[in-house]
Each structure stands twice: as structure tokens, then as C-alpha cells.
Amino acid sequence: MKRFNTPINSELLTQICQGELKGKIPSVLCKVGEPEEADEQTIIFLEQEKLLEKVKASSAGLIITTEKFISELPERALLLVQKPYYSLMRLISWWLEQENKDFIYAIQPTAIVAEDVRFEGEVAIGSNVVIGSGCILGKGVIIGEGCSLGKNVSVGAGTKLYPNVCVYDDCVIGRNCILHSGVIIGADGFGFMLIEGIQQKIPQVGNVVIGDGVEIGANSCIDRATLGSTIIGNGTKIDNLVQVGHNCIIGEHSILCAQVGLAGSTVVGDYVYLAGQVGIADHLQIGNRAMVGAQSGVSTNIPDDGRYFGYPALEANLTKRIMAVQKNLPEMYHFYLKAKKQETENGEK
């Protein structure tokens, strides 16, 4: 459960969540949480039928829900909206903004900042941060403890780097991005050439360019391009433990879930969804709005709006048909052996 310092009133509630209040709300609402842990100061939400009994038993002071559940929750304080979970997230975002208004921008004395770093407004730089020559930091940038920025790195306004993020030379990060702890931006792409029995390293002299509004989860790695740029488009969200190889291009507002791996020079379109542990071979094209199911291995191009999964990844309906047959393979094999034996016996006779 999360408690906020600023209680919210009914007027702000309806304004932020775009909903209609029903019933009498408590005088103090300043928490959000799960139904089981809620008290009269807590706001919870109900969107799915399976959670109804938990919500009924909850002591929450306010329930954000839809008109569908009015009759199930008599005499409870309700905020009626179209999308309860989304409305709760908007409310939490408002609360977080209020708490960040008094944030103090400062550079900690243990930070090492090159003399020619350019600041385009107030910034916050945590303890033991290292920022190299030629860097540009936009207004409102927050660099957490222990981060390292190489030479000529650009970080856009409003971007936040959590502790221990490492950004290599020449990389560009857009505005209002979030990079979680352990993210590595701009490490060398995995490029080697076998010459006379020895793996010779191919120099990686490109960079990484990250658009605006991108979020990258903890311990994910985005490799620099060999010559040009590895590109992450505006609004794309990358989960924890994701590997994006050199020269990859990811479009706008795509989703890459945990443990996705893109081999070099993969091109991913806009609004693409790659579920957990999807692996994509090099030099492939994944079309706009494509969806690939969890643990799929992609070895061919996927068209716009494609729905693929499996190993190897095939069109979703075909994979379902194959899976339906696979469970019958032992029995089918038994009949095959029986028929083969009869055929042999008949031939001998």
C-alpha cells in the first residue's frame, strides 16, 4: 500500500478520473493499495468480475469501478468511470506530481562532472556520478547515484536515470525518458570476423539514439551500431533484461517484454508487441502492429498486423493447428507402426 502526503477531495477526484461519485466518501483519502490491505483512507479499483468478492470484503474508503458493479456494492462509496484501472493510474500520477513539486535539483559534491558539460536548466546529479566531456543535459534531468555518462552524451529534458545506469560515448537520449537501474546504452555490438582462425573484433563506432518518452527496464542492454545508429522510437517501452543488438531499429510505441532478444540489424515497426523471451534472428523485418507470442523463435520476416508464435514462429492459426495435432502424435505413431507391421506380414505371405 502506498500513502501520499496530500489527501484528495471529491472535486479533484472527479476532475482527474473523469468520473461520477456515488455515495459518501471519507473525509481523508490518501492511499492506494490492494483490496486485502485497504482501510478507510484507501482507494482501490474493480474492473474484473473475479475480484468482486475481495472488493466486497475490503475496508476501502472508495472503489473506482464501472456502472456494471453498482448493484453488487450497495452503500459503498464509488467513483464510476469507463476504465477503472486507467483512472486509478491517472490519479496516482497526479499524486506523484504533487510530491515531486518540491524536488530539489542539486549536484552532489562527490559527482565528477567535466568542465564543458552544458546544462539547459536545473538538473539533479547524484553521488558518485561521472559525466564526460561534451555532454548536454536538458532541463529537469535527474541522474541517479553511480551513473556514468561517456563523452558527448545528450540527455533530453525531463529524463530520469535511476542509479547505476551506464551510457557510452556519443549516445542520444530523448526527452521524458526513464532508464532503470543497470541499463547499458551504447555498449559495443557483438561483431567479430574469423580471420586465419582468430575471431577479429569489428570496431563499433556508431551510437544509440533513443526517442522521447521511452522507458527501459532494469539490466537491459541497447548496443551501439557498427557505423550508423541503433534507434529506439518515441514512446516505445522495453522491459527488464532485454537485449537489442547493433544496428537494430525499433519503431514508435512498441512493447518488448522481459528477456526479448533482437539480433543485429533487426527492424521492428510501430505498435509491435513482442512477448517474453521472444528471440528474433538478424536482418529481419517485423511489420507494424505485429504480435509475437511468448518464447517464440522468429527466423523469417513478419508482415504488418501479423500474429505469430511458436518455435519456429509461424502464423498463429497454423501454430494452433500444429499444436492440436502434436498431442495425438504418440497414438498416431502407434497406429503407424501397427499398419507397417501388417503391411510387412502381408507382403511376406
Residues with catalytic annotation?
246
End-to-end, the C-alpha distance of the chain in Å comes to 80
Query: In angstroms, rounded to a whole number, what is the distance separating the alpha carbons of residues 78 and 71?
Result: 11
Are the beta carbons of 169 and 185 closer than 8 angstroms? no
Length of the chain: 349
Could you give the CA distance from residue 137 to residue 161 in angstroms, rounded to a whole number? 12
